[in-house]
Amino acid sequence: MAQTNILLESGTNELEIVEFFLDESLPSGAKYTGYYGVNVAKVLEIIRLPKVTELPQTPHPCVMGTFNLRNKVVPLVDLCAWLGKEKFPSDADKVVVTEFNNIVNAFLVSGVNRIHRLSWERIDPPNRQVSVFSGESVTGVVRMEDRILFILDMEKIIGDLNPSLALRELDEKAFVEERRELPDKDMVFRVLVADDSGTIRNMMVKSLERAGFEVTAAINGRDAWDALSRIKESAVAENRSLLELMHVVISDIEMPAMDGHSLTKRIKEDPVLRELPVILFSSLITESLRHKGLAVGADEQVSKPDMKILAEKARELAYNNLVAKQR
């Protein structure tokens, strides 16, 4: 199965999920099959298990080694091992090759079923029990007729295996030193941040506050839209400019209820809210997918995990937008 050629129109609040399964060996010797999913936008291709070269040292037993894919060395992660399961033997294993955060990785699975086209409204956030039992590695739950499909947080898995690729809090001192001479150095900007991951959202809030922003946080696109609607109502009721109350929006793309593309499209189609600059901050910001953000009117797109660039772009956009409106 090669990379899908199905293209979704941006801003429809839909996504496509590759459903795969993991066969687990139970203590009794029986087989248990679990069903999982990953956003098609992150999948480069699905291949048979290639010849794998073991590494001298690995960060975790789940890292099987590397293989050569069109002159690129790709690390292979055994998902069963990562999830703490014993894989049931099979000669039909598949490898899901992914690209996110501008990095190519591969994951060993027992097999691949099909692609589902879904609305983000069908994807529920995991409850606390599921999050704990999965090691915080599940970002969404889809209820099918005869099974439950768990959306795995591939970014967290790779970030845990290689901390240098994980999102990190902003170095406040370095950021402050670099912007001492900026014309907006004494200005405080208000930013609305939307991200469904509590860990990432809290990290973004702390980092942006260190960079001098006043931050409002939302748990997904719908929550962000509701917050912006209230801000707009306040501006209209008080006969104030929207830019007195909010200066920039930063949104993840993959979120239940309403994704970042749909949120951006709504903002840019609203006669009042369209004044706000929008930055998409996501692991899905790649050269091949950047056109989706452009199609819905995003002002900037920054690939995770670069918090420093995100803070710089947010301040630049907010300042330039205010100056332009005052002319």
Buried b / exposed e over 129-165, threshold 16 CB at 10 Å, is: ebbeebebbbbbbbeeeeeebbbbbbbbbbbbbeeeb
Cα(120)–Cα(274) distance, integer angstroms: 23
- What CATH number does the domain located at 167-326 have? 3.40.50.2300
Do the beta carbons of residue 189 and residue 323 sit within 8 Å?
A: no
Cα(284)–Cα(51) distance, integer angstroms: 28
Residues 125-171: tens digit of each pLDDT:
888 888 777 777 888 899 999 999 999 988 888 888 887 776 766 66
Contacts of 118 (CB under 8 A, 6+ apart): 14, 15, 16, 17, 142
- Domain spans of the chain? 14-164, 167-326
Helix 260-269 and helix 221-237, axial crossing angle in degrees, nearest 10: 20
Cα(212)–Cα(177) distance, integer angstroms: 13
What does residue 248 show for φ and ψ, rounded to 5 degrees? -160, 150
Cα(71)–Cα(87) distance, integer angstroms: 29
pTM: 0.83
Q: For position 219, what pLDDT does the model report?
A: 92
Residues 233-290: tens digit of each pLDDT:
999 999 999 999 999 999 999 998 899 999 999 999 999 999 999 999 998 888 778 8
Residues 45-100: tens digit of each pLDDT:
999 999 999 988 877 889 999 999 999 999 999 999 999 899 999 999 999 999 98
- What CATH number does the domain located at 14-164 have? 2.40.50.180
Contacts of 221 (CB under 8 A, 6+ apart): 120, 194, 251, 255, 257, 258, 259, 260, 262, 263
Q: For position 2, what pLDDT does the model report?
A: 43
CA 98 to chain centre: 13
- Token digits of residue 23: 């066969």
Can you list the positions of beta strands (E) in 62-212? 63-69, 72-78, 94-100, 103-109, 111-119, 138-143, 148-152, 190-194
